[in-house]
Structure 1
Amino acid sequence: MKQLFIMAISIALCWGCAQKASEKNNKARVSANIEGLEDMEIFISYRQKGDRKTDTIQVRDGQFTWEAEMPEPQKVSIMFPNRYSGFFAEKGNIQISGKADALHKLDVTGSELQAEADKYYETLKDLTDRESVIFGQYRDAGDEEKRNLEKRLGDIRSEKRKRGKVYIEKHPESIFSLNLVSDRATMGAYEEIKPLYDLLDNSVLGSDMGKRLTERLEVLKRSAIGETILDFTQNDVEGNPVSYADFRGQYVFIDFWASWCGPCRAENPNVLKAYNEYKDKNFTVLGVSLDDDEARWKKAIEEDSLPWVQVSDLKGFDNVISGYYGIRGIPSTLLVDPEGKIIAKDLRGDELHQKLAEVLP
């Protein structure tokens, strides 16, 4: 009996040791040495057990260390006071080196996933070099030249997307491929993301990142072309409830914007031009603001001379409507037909006028 008791204790102790060893083996251990980096606090953001977590790390003499449970590889963010830097972490020992004046070029070793990412980004160098030249020309360019530069940048982004798709097709079981799709899903449309999602192997879709991507896709589908718009209700600038049902029977351009959003404010004159041109042709605009400051919201409406109905719940990016559609960046728009079906998304500039000329009599 005594021997059985001792054996049971030994088994329990061994199991406990095995658990601790397993936990230890799942840890990512990061050591960094960044030349010229001042003593400061930095923040490292990552996911643990499905939740976003941020650790505060102290830098001393350009060096810092960080450990975290990392059962699956993932992209980790380092927030320096004036710069963001990201790298792929996984269990094991990882070294980071570089210089404080080039935090966007940190060298990361010890992570196979980061090595895969570096190799992929090297294949895009011809495109990123061309982008750099265009960015350098943009600031001093005139309006017409800026439009040409923007078109060239759009062509480069399109080529990047094509190369990304080819990579995903060739590496469907890669976590990096999964990350490429997940990054696109942050701001992309359902019609763009779903074909890429379908290329991925079930082995990566079963990971935590894969499950989050699946959930994200379900949200994006709500704004897919042909889907019916949500019959939402929010208050206007006077505090009166406005229901989308009041707009049925019209073409409605739903414009998600905010007073603090520079690109939104820059686009407002273009939307106003479209409104004035088509308002007598069964067309209107409905603004949904992601503001959280009522006074700033109302001031922006007045300054930009926006005559259409504006609604908001004044919850910022926690706006119920934008949250339902998974909107993570503005300006973002939906064009809805008289039956309440979404027929176009994210129309800006000339594209808005071209689409309205196409669908309105």
Structure 2
Amino acid sequence: MRQNGTQRQFRSGSGRVSFLIERKGWLTLALLFLLLLACMIVSAGIGTLRIAPLDALLATFGYGEPVHVMTVQKLRMPRIVTGAFVGASLAASGAIMQGLIRNPLASPDIIGITGGASVAATALLTLAPSASIAWLPPTAFVGAALMTFIVYGLAWKQGVKPTTLVLIGVGVGAAAQAVNTMLVVMSPMYVTAKAYNWLLGSVYGAGWPQAKQILIWFAVTGLIAFILSRRINLLQLGDDVAQAAGSSVQRDRFLLLGTAAVLAGAGVAIGGPIGFIALMAPHIARRFAGVTYGLLIPTSALVGAILIVIADTAARTVMSPLDIPVGVFTAAIGAPFFIILLLRRKRSGD
């Protein structure tokens, strides 16, 4: 019987890696991508100056009234594109984490990656307030990377087990939160306001340089995540089965953790620690993609991008002219979502 799917093969350092994504999966990705584009165009038209969706689409490509072109190209679209890639990065990282740890409640927040990025960024904002804002993304990224190595090193004992990784991550993340609080409390008021706004999660003021920066990080690490997705599928079967199938479990776990850290670090570096996107997006994506990670990771990325675009549109318009950090909106939605997940797992006996 002929399978209703399309085969894609890639070469990696360990040999040939194959993926099977059914045509239904490609259709799902295409529809979500079109939905994302529609959300971005509609968002570009919402604000103090209202622009019809068709006019916003034309303005995106430089056509239409000059005031529309300037508003869309210079002010709104850079922020929208940046937010979309921030959401995609966080969501893809969350999907990898949930597969790696084999726990649907896992996210970069759980094992301290977000906390590491936050500490590094807060330290820059409070201890070197005169430093250029351009240093914020690389500083946050370095913090995320260092925290990943610290957590992995502390969890290592003849290998790393998912449960140990979570326990160490929660403890280190709590310590990072304490350091953040201390840095903010001990800083002058004008510095505190700046750091606090970043810690809430926001893409306010993002321009094309930030959009290009996170695009590069997401494109590279997203491709790596897709190539490694087959290894996540193997790890779902347990360490013994994965090893029997030819997987180097500890090496794969380290590579996947590093990839998730880069994705999360890139998102946090640009948009701050925007909560719950990495948790919610993979759960929503499973409704469309199932549990095959070759499809789940890109689907999660698209869902995360859509969530951020919608949340940020609400953040900048609901209480206009106030611009509320997008992290406030994602937390308002994500906290009840997390509670519902906990209750469902309790009822199912997990």
TM-score, normalisation: structure 2: 0.26
Higher-Rg structure is 1
Structure with more of its chain in helix, by fraction: 2
